[in-house]
Amino acid sequence: MKVQLVLALLSLAALANARKPSAARYDNFKVYRAFVEDNEQLEEFKKVHQHIQVHILHEIGGPNRSYDVIVGPLFQKVFEKVLHDLEVKYEIIVEDLQALLDESSVDEDAPMDWETYHPLSTIYDWLDDQCAEHDYLECKVIGHSHEGRPIRSVKLSKREGNKAILLEGNIHAMEWISSATVTFILNQLINSKDAEMQRLTEEYDWIVVPMVNPDGFVYTHEVERLWRKNRRPNGYTNTSGPCFGIDMNRNFDFHWSGAGWNIEDPCDHWFGGDEPNTEREILALQDFVSSFQDGYIRAYMAFHAYGQYVLLPYGHSNTEFPPNYDQMMRIAAAFADGAVDAYGSVFTYGASGLLNYVVSGAAKDWAYGVKGIPFTCTIELRDKGTFGFFLPSNQITEVGVEVTEGLKSLVAKADDEGIFD
């Protein structure tokens, strides 16, 4: 009987191990930066991924821009030949992607800090500790992901009558620096002895949702570091099988599906869904924002990577601008002025449709266009492309410091501009 029990347990263990997916590796994968000069090159460049197995790291917008592309060893010579034939100039910016990823390996057992990247469990344990230690924090589960993971919020309020600033992180799974920065800021707000940070917590309420996409985030740690979307099966298939996920920052119901690269391809990284507001994660976020009295939340800031931008509404157009766009530009300029003082990082600011690329259905545009929050933005964090989405963990603290300094200046300018009136 004991032998049978042992064999049964061994069988269960073997089955569990067999079912646990192994993390994808990128040994000798290169990251290319292609410089697309004109519309003719652009139209041909858009077709490359249909014929060669490559991973384009960000949406393809217009000409006169560079685009970063991951290519495995089997396709590198073919890819280089295609670029040569198209007369598209390029450079190799990462020789071995796996070696770069290994620079930010995750210690599952390390306590929460901002020297390394952490798994979801460590982040959530740290939130629990903070919530237990400070009675001015109101901590909630605002909803659950497709796979049932909680989506957590923390509201910091020390005085009645304050207006609020909302910080949102990691709606895109692969952008680890996002939640790392949002939790860095939250830690400063809670634990810093800096007089200015203490004043900010006395005069303003802070609402923080550090992890909008927990399923995707876990998937990037356990299976696929390059994953961007959530993990809901979206009902489509391709030659590799069922397709998963919606780009949740393309699924908000404000000019949804009006513009964007490959937002209609259900198996690509930027699929915005068959209709808006389909994802339970963003519905939970929207319901949470809507649960507060109108006029209470006065600033909404979504944190992303990369490029060092302060992106303002609107994203769906490069010719249409919000009524108070000039005011928002002055506030964004204050952030850039504050951030550059820390380590010299230069942030460019302006409407996202103008500076970055035209795309619809983003959180910041919904917050402005639907909820009427007078200052909204996307902060695209470090860097400008040397490491891109794979920023080494030894830069987390510097990013946190420069963004915190920028945030101080932003809030001061927003107050001067009457945003919190």
Catalytic residues: 380
CA distance 50 to 265: 12
Q: Which of 362, 349, 174, 351 is nearest to 260 (CA)?
A: 362
CA distance 145 to 284: 9
Q: Which of 350, 345, 348 is nearest to 386 (CA)?
A: 345
CA distance 55 to 47: 13
Q: Which of 114, 42, 59 is nearest to 250 (CA)?
A: 59
CA distance 346 to 402: 10
Q: Work out the angle at residue 166's Cα, subtended by the Cα atoms of residues 331 and 212, and round it to the nearest 5 degrees.
A: 125
Distance of CA 331 to the CA centre of its chain: 22
Q: Which of 211, 219, 202, 227 is nearest to 178 (CA)?
A: 211
* 375 token code pair: 């200052």
Place of tokens 């060092």: 308
